[in-house]
Copies of this chain bind each other. A is one copy, B any other.
């Protein structure tokens, strides 16, 4: 197995190699679309199941809406349409026929042209609000708290596995409310659910904030987000939650009778996370040897590797290994006993390091004599020898420790890479030399934001929600600023 390019040598190359070599995903025969391989999909399934649990816990239900959006619905909410028109796949025909010039080929049948073009959903506000129109008459029909797990398509020109693909998997929540306050509360709540998921399940620290008007979702009045910091000092938007005001209700004429008997438009939110989180996971924790996975997301949490010469030794080790496996499984830990005889232990060690299995247990003939095993942690690459007695409880605790340590390490890295700067010179210097989040003053205008983006490629990731407000003067215009905002180059 050839080694990975190191992160320090070429971070981007390291990422691309890791995604492919760890069997997470690969490019497909379709431009910009990926194949999510079984090992990668198993991790995504764990993310999905945990988020789904959290959504249901907070009162949401799942449903499914059509893949296609007729053009007339797509264009109804103007800002939203404008935001997505440049990158959408369009279905124009519904049939192929045999090529009269070459019977083994097919061509689009010109007689099967659709009366109205269908857009492959880049997001589902339009199709969903067109449906909600029939579901909402009275305040009694509200709130509607629906989530959808689906695929969406955004025609990206430069794609990268998980981070930016033409098709990706995601969840999109779409809620309708009787009051503005309730909708805002929902948008905030779901952003908090995302933050909780990112930190406590993905072991990935995030900063919660609001997007500036120019970075908002097309059609939103306010966009909440969680921003994570990758190891190369670039930020990654890990989830967004939008307060949509009455924009979609007005575009699709969704009105209801409120408690006072007056007719008004419904208030909306939408919120989403996607397979992009797989990219965030990789770039938060992994190292030059391969994936590092928090135990919560590891398809295999513990691997047992026997070290043996000949059948007899393998049999003796197997007996004990299978006992250990059974005890760990009884504690709900996923274990693989790798008794394959084709590959050497060294090869297996490297393979499970690459795949990010959190704990490796190695057992040889001498361990058998001593009733001991060698335990190796994937996250910090430390090893220790432990007795087989009480191993199951020890491993159970160890997995919790690893989960915490992985988070702490990422948290420390993130915090060490937030730099407060007060001048534009300093801003550019830090961005160039160190990267990371830069915490600086901004005058609140789209002009200054745009100039900084053009000159440095850094964008305002968010206006943080949780920090102390501190006044100052903005980087370029020198105008007074009420608070610092968070800049970074971003994925």
**Partner-B contacts on A (CB < 8 A):** 26, 28-30, 33-38, 41-42, 45, 61-71, 73-75, 78, 81, 85-98, 104-106, 108, 117-120, 127, 130-131, 134, 140, 146, 150-151, 153, 155, 167, 169, 342
Which residues of B lie under 8 Å from residue A131 when comparing CB positions?
26, 28-29, 35
- Identify which of B65, B75, B127 contacts A105 (C-beta below 8 A): B75
Closest to A145 in B: B38
The reply to whether A91 and B90 contact each other, CB–CB distance below 8 Å, is yes
Expressed in whole angstroms, the Cα–Cα distance for A153 and B121 within the complex equals 14
Task: Other than A67-B151, A90-B93, give 16 A-B pairs with Cβ distance below 8 A.
Answer: A28-B65, A29-B73, A29-B127, A33-B67, A35-B65, A35-B66, A41-B64, A71-B96, A71-B106, A74-B96, A75-B105, A81-B106, A86-B95, A88-B94, A89-B93, A90-B92
Which chain B positions have C-beta within 8 A of A127? 28-30
- Is the CB–CB distance between B61 and A41 below 8 Å? yes
**Is there an interface contact between B33 and A62, defined as CB atoms closer than 8 Å?**
no
Query: Do the beta carbons of A30 and B68 come within 8 Å of each other?
Result: yes
Neighbour of A70 across the interface among B30, B37, B87, B91, CB < 8 A? B30
* Bound complex: CA A65 to CA B65 (Å): 20
Q: From A52, which residue of chain B is reached at the shortest CB distance?
A: B45
Contacts of A65 in B (CB 8 A): 28, 35
- Once A73-B29, A74-B106, A108-B117 are accepted as A-B contacts, the answer to whether A85 and B97 lie under 8 Å apart by CB is yes
Closest residue to A28 on the B side, CB-wise? B66
**Contact in complex: B96, A90 (CB < 8 Å):** yes
Q: Which residues of B contact A87 (CB under 8 A)?
A: 94-95
| A85→B70 contact, CB < 8 A | no
Give A75 Cβ to nearest chain B Cβ, in Å.
Answer: 5
Whether the pair B78, A88 counts as a contact (CB closer than 8 A) is no
User: How far in angstroms is the closest Cβ of chain B from A47?
Assistant: 13
Please name the residue on chain B nearest to A152 by beta carbon: B67
* Chain B nearest CB, measured from A74 CB (Å): 7
A91 & B68 in contact (Cβ 8 Å cutoff) = no
A130: chain B residues within 8 A (beta carbon) = 28-29
- Closest B residue to A116 by beta carbon equals B31
Enumerate 28 A-B pairs (CB-CB under 8 Å) in ascending A order: A26-B134, A29-B66, A29-B127, A30-B66, A30-B127, A33-B68, A34-B66, A35-B65, A35-B66, A35-B131, A38-B62, A38-B146, A41-B61, A45-B62, A67-B120, A71-B96, A85-B96, A85-B106, A86-B95, A88-B95, A88-B96, A89-B93, A90-B92, A90-B96, A90-B108, A91-B92, A91-B120, A151-B151
Instruction: Give the CA-CA distance A76 to B89 in the complex, in Å.
Output: 23
A169 touches B64 (CB 8 A): yes
Partner of A36, one of B29, B45, B64, B89: B64
Residues of B contacting A38 with CB < 8 Å? 61-63, 146
| B62 and A42 contact, CB distance less than 8 A | yes
CA distance A106 to B75 in the complex (A): 7
Known A38-B62, A63-B35, A70-B30; judge A119-B96 contact (CB<8 A).
yes
The CA-CA distance from A69 to B35 in the complex, in Å, is: 12
Residues of B within 8 A of A86 (CB): 95-97
Assess the B90–A75 pair: CB atoms within 8 A: no
Cα–Cα distance between A98 and B81 once the two chains are bound (Å): 10
Known: A30-B66, A75-B104. A95 touches B155 (CB 8 A): yes
Q: Min CB distance, A175 to chain B, in Å?
A: 12
Q: Quick one: closest B residue to A97, CB to CB?
A: B85
A95 to B157: give the CA distance in the assembly, Å: 12
The residues of B that contact A81 with a CB separation of less than 8 Å are: 96, 106
**Which chain B residues border A70 with CB–CB below 8 Å?**
29-30
Question: When the two chains form their complex, are residues A118 and B92 in contact, meaning their CB atoms are under 8 A apart?
Answer: no
Beta-carbon contact of B71 and A33 below 8 Å: no
Contacts of A140 in B (CB 8 A): 342
CA distance A71 to B108 in the complex (A): 9
* Nearest B residue to A106, CB-CB: B75
